[in-house]
Amino acid sequence: MLEQYSAFFVATSGAAAALVGLLFIALSVDADLEKRSRIRQFTLTETAFISLAGIFVISLLALLPSGIPLMTSASILLSVAGTWSLLRRQHRYAANVFLPVDSWYIFMTIGVYVLFAATNIWIAATNGTIQSLNLFCALLVALFVLSLLRAWRALLINQHQASQTSARHEGS
């Protein structure tokens, strides 16, 4: 059943692997961030990394001949891990990391994770109907978009902090 989606899964696994690599490179660029900005950047990129790495693994598992059980299990694990990461980070670092503007992202991502887990239960129960697999692919793309938004936000923190630092040095 997954054979007709193989091109999609090849593309998502390749894109996710490339983006995880770029995320590592972007984090290794040191802009002398202050502690609060460093914690915020790490937290934002951690949530993006979990989603992108999960998409990579899920896409690879979907390419296996009997991939549905492995894919659905990994997808449910991603949903749990991603939700846990968001909730844990929000509670632990709320004052330093999550701003009120982050609420939409947190609720939207948790909603996608819940739908993703439910869709995978549907796929496992029906052995992958066209409707369930189409919804699965759409939710995978939604996770991509949310991860990219999160990574972009983290990188903007880095750029903003670097420009503030250089402005301070020029002003003195």
What is the residue extent of each domain of the chain?
A: 2-27+35-163
| 86/88 Cα distance (integer angstroms) | 6
Q: Are 128 and 1 in contact (CB under 8 A)?
A: yes
Reported confidence tier of residue 105, pLDDT bands at 50, 70, 90: confident
pLDDT tops 90 at residue 54: yes
* Region 92-107 average pLDDT: 64
Neighbour tally for 39: CB within 10 Å: 16
Structure tokens at 149: 């938004």
Looking at the predicted structure, is the pLDDT value of residue 91 above 60? no
CA 142 to chain centre: 10
| pLDDT value at residue 79 | 94
Q: What is the DSSP letter of 6?
A: H
Cβ contacts of residue 98 below 8 Å, gap of 6+?
43, 89, 90, 106
pLDDT score for 162? 54
Residues 3-52: pLDDT tens digits?
Answer: 899 999 999 999 999 999 888 887 776 555 566 666 667 777 888 889 99
H or E segment and range at residue 2? none
68 pLDDT exceeds 60?
Answer: yes
Phi-psi region of 127 (alpha: psi -120 to 50; beta: other; left: phi over 0): left
